Amino acid sequence: MTGNSLDPHLNRYARRTEGMRASAIRALFAVASRPEVVSLAGGMPYLNSLPLGMLGQDVNQLVAEEGLTALQYGSGQGILALREQICEVMALEGIQAHPDDVVVTVGSQMALDLVTRIFCDPGDVILAEAPSYVGALGTFAAYQAQVVHVAMDADGLIPEALTAAIASCRAAGRRIKLLYTIPNFHNPAGVTLSDERRGVIARICRDEGITLLEDNPYGLLGFDDAVHRAIRADDPDNVIYLGSFSKTFAPGLRVGWVLAPHAVREKLVLANEAATLNPPVLNQMIVSRYLATFDWMGQIKAYRQTYAERRDAILAALTEYMPAGTTWTTPQGGFYVWITLPEGFDSASMLARAVSARVAYVPGTAFYADQLGSRQLRLSYCFPTPERIEEGVRRLAGVLNGELDV
């Protein structure tokens, strides 16, 4: 008897639940968090260098001094002080924004949900890079939007591939709503959209009447300290920009944001209120105080250094241990390396053997809406130490070499 046949609600679920799939990553977390397993799977930020004692005192003080506000219901758009600070953060990427056009959300994941909710009817097309962020694919599927993937190379999304994808969707009579792109330190591909392509892609979207959704949680985590100019900076009317404090501060607080053209922003606030009433006030105040009182740019520099060392460790280990014919990207920031295995490998079916060999990764198929990616896999280098990273890659190479021997 299957679990389903025991479910008395089986015939009552909405059709949109058909697109909901268990996340390959979440399923892995339980196994991968066992101490003997080197997890190169989840993209968990390395929080150990946060000033926990100071943060604890700040939270105490916040509740003692401003508890009646911090613990109360709040604005569906988010607190003004934080929205002003968010504008300052975005200014680092060349964005000039007004706090009134910012909506605070429960992580940028909620922002993805709200944007899809207000733009997409079932069957509408969202163009997205091949591969693309698994959490966004999950949200798009939940709203029954159809993802059409667009090829990338080492310089990010390929403009000619975008034009071709638009033409073929239009020829098939399909309605395209959004282009979803992660320009910086892509999850999972580890590449960055070149500055030259940014304007080209923005222009294509504008000319074709497609809203560009720029998802940028990693933008400040570039290893050479350079910050790329956001696509939104040069196209405020057609770009919706998503930001997050998850990678630069703390994901557990679940504080992200959307910057949107004014009319879109109004709809987003209504959708935010319908979904959550308001983002948690205490968490917003914690972030706001952190930005106001702590050397947060110094903290980001420390993160960059930690992650750069780990990126170096993983690239060195890949070069040393991977079987011939394996290729990978060279991330200039962020958390991820994207691996392509030689012909004949299947990263999904190999995963159980890898976990037995005490190393975990995410199979490439998780990052495609159409089951491509069986020769690819994503490795995250953000959390384990350089020594553990080397050990993890060595174990992974052992599994691959074992497969070659069969």
Window 183-202: residues binding ligand PMP (CB under 6 A)? 187
* Choice between 104 and 210, CB closer to ligand PMP: 104
Q: Is 215 in the site for ligand PMP (CB under 6 A)?
A: yes
Q: Which span sits near ligand PMP by CB under 6 A: 95-103, 140-148, 243-251, 347-355?
A: 243-251
Q: Are 372 and 362 in contact (CB under 8 A)?
A: no
Q: Is 283 in the site for ligand PMP (CB under 6 A)?
A: no
* Choice between 102 and 322, CB closer to ligand PMP: 102
CA distance 67 to 63: 4
Q: Is 256 in the site for ligand PMP (CB under 6 A)?
A: yes
CA distance 239 to 50: 33
Residue whose entry in the numeric block shows the structure tokens 């308001």? 278
* Choice between 265 and 378, CB closer to ligand PMP: 378
Among 99, 131, 251, 384, the residue binding ligand PMP under the rule CB under 6 A is 251
* Choice between 116 and 246, CB closer to ligand PMP: 246
Q: How far is the CB of 118 from ligand PMP (least distance, A)?
A: 18
Q: Which span sits near ligand PMP by CB under 6 A: 57-65, 101-109, 121-129, 385-393?
A: 101-109
Q: Is 217 in the site for ligand PMP (CB under 6 A)?
A: yes
Distances (CA, A) of 17 to 14, 25, 179, 309: 6, 19, 23, 42
Q: Is 272 in the site for ligand PMP (CB under 6 A)?
A: no
Q: Is 133 in the site for ligand PMP (CB under 6 A)?
A: yes
Q: Is 124 in the site for ligand PMP (CB under 6 A)?
A: no
Q: Is 390 in the site for ligand PMP (CB under 6 A)?
A: no
* Choice between 253 and 282, CB closer to ligand PMP: 253
3-state DSSP of the chain: CCCHHHCCCHHHCCHHHHHCCCCHHHHHHHHHCCCCCEECCCCCCCHHHCCHHHHHHHHHHHHHHHHHHHCCCCCCCCCHHHHHHHHHHHHCCCCCCCHHHEEEEEHHHHHHHHHHHHHCCCCCEEEEEECCCHHHHHHHHHCCCEEEEEEEECCEECHHHHHHHHHHHHHCCCCEEEEEECCCCCCCCCCCCCHHHHHHHHHHHHHHCCEEEEECCCCCCECCCCCCCCHHHHCCCCEEEEEECCCCCCHHHCEEEEECCHHHHHHHHHHHHHHHCCCCHHHHHHHHHHHHHCCHHHHHHHHHHHHHHHHHHHHHHHHHHCCCCCEECCCCECCEEEEECCCCCCHHHHHHHHHHCCEECEEHHHHCCCCCCCCEEEEECCCCCHHHHHHHHHHHHHHHHHHHHC
Residue whose entry in the numeric block shows the structure tokens 């994207």? 338
> How many degrees, rounded to 5, is the angle at CA 71 between CA 79 and CA 101?
15
Q: How far is the CB of 8 from ligand PMP (least distance, A)?
A: 33
* Choice between 159 and 183, CB closer to ligand PMP: 183
Q: Could you tell me the two tokens for 223? A: 């290893």
Among 76, 99, 107, 190, the residue binding ligand PMP under the rule CB under 6 A is 107
Q: Is 181 in the site for ligand PMP (CB under 6 A)?
A: no
Q: How far is the CB of 257 from ligand PMP (least distance, A)?
A: 9
Binding track, positions 39-78, relative to ligand PMP; x by CB under 6 A: ----x-----------------------------------
Q: Is 333 in the site for ligand PMP (CB under 6 A)?
A: no
Size of the site for ligand PMP (CB under 6 A): 14
Q: How far is the CB of 187 from ligand PMP (least distance, A)?
A: 4
Q: Is 132 in the site for ligand PMP (CB under 6 A)?
A: no
* Choice between 107 and 363, CB closer to ligand PMP: 107
Q: Is 246 in the site for ligand PMP (CB under 6 A)?
A: yes
* Choice between 256 and 392, CB closer to ligand PMP: 256
Q: Is 129 in the site for ligand PMP (CB under 6 A)?
A: no
285 residue type, one letter: M
Window 134-163: residues binding ligand PMP (CB under 6 A)? 135
Under the rule (CB under 6 A), what is the footprint of ligand PMP? Answer: 43, 107-109, 133, 135, 182, 187, 215, 217, 244, 246, 251, 256
